Every structure is written in structure tokens, then in C-alpha cells.
Structure 1
Amino acid sequence: MNDNILKPFNINNAQELFELTNKNRVYLKRTLPWLDNIQTIDDTLDFINACIQADNDGNQMPV
């Protein structure tokens, strides 16, 4: 058993998400072709906000 917890995106996690994405970019890019669109913390914030909006609208997370 591990301590991993899956939570909905939150703008308070933008910096951490951006750093993890950037740090693991080469590996993640194999399966996440949209990763080229995430180059700055603002791109990550836009992504998180789009996910939150999609959830609020009752839609799935945009990929």
C-alpha cells in the first residue's frame, strides 16, 4: 500500500504540477502529445482552469 492520493486539479497545485511535468517531460511526451503546449506555469494554470470548467459543466477533463 502507498500514500498516493488522486485529487481533482486545483490552481494551488499549479507550480508543483508544472515542475513535475517539466522534470518528466521526455518520459511523459511518449503518451501525452499535448505536452508541447505546456511550456510555462501560465500554460499549466490554463490547463487546470479548463479542467475545472469542464468538471463544473459536467464534462470530462480536456486532454
Structure 2
Amino acid sequence: MKRSAERGSTFKSITCGISRGCPLSPVIAAYYLKGLDEQMEGDPRYFYRRYIDDVIVLAKTR
């Protein structure tokens, strides 16, 4: 997928990362964060919730 960003009157090619607003971003995030979800949700010491790339972790200790 070719991407570019405009800066002033010039365009620069973007060669790494995931585009904001890319339709695949939620799927890729879910794939990479699945292990974290499983590990955190199975631990009663934490309250863990995630929506796409926003994460909340509540614990009694740091």
C-alpha cells in the first residue's frame, strides 16, 4: 500500500507504520494485543479493559 503525506507544498512517501484511519488498523491491533488481553483478563488482581488501542488497567498496587 503506497502512502504519502503532504507537508507544505511537498509530498513525502511514508514507508513504515500503519495509517491513521486505515481500515486494517483495528484488525492488526486486535491480532497483536490478543495475548495481552488473554493474560490480563485471566488475572483477578487487575481490572482490564481495552477498546482498539485504548487500554485501562486498574490495580491495587503499582
TM exceeding 0.5: no
Radius of gyration: which is bigger? 2
Under a length normalisation based on structure 1, what TM-score does the superposition of the two structures give? 0.29
Under a length normalisation based on structure 2, what TM-score does the superposition of the two structures give? 0.30
The structure where helix makes up a greater share of residues is: 1
